[in-house]
Amino acid sequence: MSRKPYLILCMILAATAFTAGSLPVYGQEVESGTVRFHIDNIPDAQPPAIKLISPYITGEEAFRTSAKELDVIGEVHDESAVRFISVNSDVRNINQEGVFSARVALVPGINQVRLVTADVMENMVEKVFLVEYIPPEPTLAEKISLNSRYYGLIIGIDKYQDPELPDLENPVNDARKLHDLLISKYSFREDDIELLRDAKRNEIVAALDHLSSVVTPEDNVLIFYAGHGTWDERANVGYWLPADAYQNTTANWFRNSTLVDYLKTIHSRHTLLITDACFAGAIFNTTRAGFASEDKAYEILYELPSRKAMTSGTVTEVPDRSSFTRYLLERLEKNSDTYLSSEQLFSSFRIAVINNSDAIPQFGEIRNVGDEGGDFIFLRKK
């Protein structure tokens, strides 16, 4: 090709750029001699195209999910080049195929997800879709873990100051085993369960005072006592005998009625008293039959406040080597169910105690302290 048409073309292009300023010529044809050129320099005026891959949205209705988070995956393409894409103002990376992704945290109800993209020519577009987050109905275990705490007071007394009261061999060891089991297998936090070994009366009172001050109406309380007990038949009164109790004076004895008064001030949802001592059964109102074990039944039992007790015997003496506590610990250890009501627990070992000792264990409501027919639920850790 001769240089003359080429020079003419360069002059035309320069003149075009000069006369049009920053706006290029649109679709101009230029002819010089035998050479014809078509100058098509129309700029990209279209924004990037967004294609949503996930979630799959149809129509204008909100996408529904029961998941707390939503994975958003899509593609974005443009004739020029994509400058950015953001998901709810969070700029995301785009791979070579134009794919982007984001994880969006949701709140219950309607959530807006806003996609914004622009190309290098500053063409911008946004795409908005709605997501309805419907949280799944929480299980009873989730409700308890979220709203409640399990408190425990575990008392075991082997050694007595009064030589007239014989020392015992097993209560402290039994109390320790129960303490450790509740922490390792059930929903008792170590900070919320107190173990008293060879406790004096004032230590028991202090521990009950503490429970009265920290327990809320959503919490659950378990009190375990293993040690000597006694019964005043003339006054119709039962007692625990702390480590500093003396046989010839009731000054440091701990009355059942005093315990009942404390239970009135511990405003828990559920309180379970487990007593392995002589003459412990006098605290009861009556015993009763068990409930079904379906999950719905557990929810009903948990919603209704309860004040229950189980003891190793009635108003009689029980042996030092307690079949009651041995089978109690064994059943708690072997339990594999998420929920175990105190009544189910008692029913699971009652016959074993009767068949292996002279004691008849008892279970029932504690009188006049607010029992409404519910039950203490042992919640097993996962």
pLDDT at site 318: 45
Q: What pLDDT, on a 0 to 100 scale, did the predictor assign at position 282?
A: 54
CB of 82 within 8 A of CB of 48? yes
Domain boundaries, the chain: 3-39, 49-133, 140-379
d(CA 12, CA 65): 62
Gyration radius (Cα) of the chain, Å? 39
d(CA 228, CA 322): 12
pLDDT at 356: 87
- Mean pLDDT along residues 67-91: 96
pLDDT of residue 327 exceeding 90: yes
Q: Between these two residues, 30 and 266, which has the higher pLDDT value? A: 266
* Whole-prediction pTM: 0.70
> pLDDT at residue 372 above 80?
yes
306 pLDDT band (50/70/90 cuts)? very high
Q: Tens digit of pLDDT for each residue in 240-293?
A: 999 999 999 999 999 988 999 999 999 999 999 999 987 555 555 433 333 344
CB 90 within 8 A of CB 72: no
Task: For the chain, give the number of residues.
Answer: 382
Nearest CA among 260, 227, 256 for reference residue 244: 227
Whether 175 shows a pLDDT value over 70: the answer reads yes
pLDDT of residue 237: 84
Give residue for tokens 């004040």. Answer: 307
Architecture of domain 140-379: 3-Layer(aba) Sandwich (3.40)
Does residue 3 surpass a pLDDT of 70? Answer: no
Cβ atoms of 373 and 300 within 8 Å: the answer is no
Cis peptide before 166 (omega within 30 of 0): no
Lowest mean pLDDT across 49-53, 258-262, 363-367: 363-367
DSSP of 8-37: HHHHHHHHHHHHHTTS---SEEEEETTEEE
pLDDT at residue 301 in the model: 87
User: Of the given ranges (91-105, 193-207, 316-330), which has the lowest mean pLDDT?
Assistant: 316-330
DSSP secondary structure string for all residues of 115-176 = EEEEETT--EEEEEEEEEE-PPPPPHHHHHHHH--EEEEEEE----SSTTS---SSHHHHHH
Predicted local distance difference test score (pLDDT) of residue 233: 79
pLDDT recorded at residue 366: 87
Across the range 226-249, mean pLDDT stands at 90
User: 49-133 belongs to which homologous superfamily?
Assistant: Immunoglobulins (2.60.40.10)
If one compares 320 and 67, the residue with the highest pLDDT of the two is 67
Higher pLDDT, 40 or 129: 129
Residue with the bigger pLDDT between 366 and 115: it is: 115
* Confidence at 182, pLDDT banded by 50, 70, 90: very high
Asked if residue 93 has pLDDT above 90, the reply is: yes
- Which residue's structure tokens are 């059930």? 186
Quote the percentage of the chain above a pLDDT of 90: 64
pLDDT at 90 over 70: yes
Joined together, the tokens standing for residue 104 give 């969006």
Write the burial class of residue 184 (CB in 10 Å: 0-12 exposed, 13-18 middle, 19+ buried): exposed
pLDDT at 294 over 80: no
The mean predicted confidence, pLDDT, of the chain is 85
Quote the pLDDT of residue 35.
Answer: 53
pLDDT of 78 strictly over 60: yes
Confidence of residue 119 (pLDDT cuts 50, 70, 90): very high
The mean per-residue pLDDT over the stretch 311-323 comes to 62
Query: What share of the chain has pLDDT > 70, as a percent?
Result: 82
Residue 33 has pLDDT above 60, yes or no: no
229 forms bridges with which residues in the sheet? 240
Q: Report the C-alpha gap between 57 and 67 in whole angstroms.
A: 16
- Is there a contact between 52 and 61 (Cβ–Cβ < 8 Å)? no
Provide the pLDDT for residue 42. 65
Looking at the chain, list the stretches that DSSP marks H as alpha helix, in order from N- to C-terminal side.
3-20, 140-147, 171-185, 201-214, 256-265, 295-303, 323-334, 342-355
Compute the distance between CA of residue 239 and CA of residue 227 in angstroms, rounded to an integer: 11
User: Confidence class of residue 295 from pLDDT cuts 50, 70 and 90?
Assistant: low
| pLDDT at residue 29 tops 60 | no
pLDDT at residue 18 greater than cutoff 50: no
pLDDT at 280 (0 to 100): 57
Q: Which residue has the higher pLDDT, 226 or 9?
A: 226
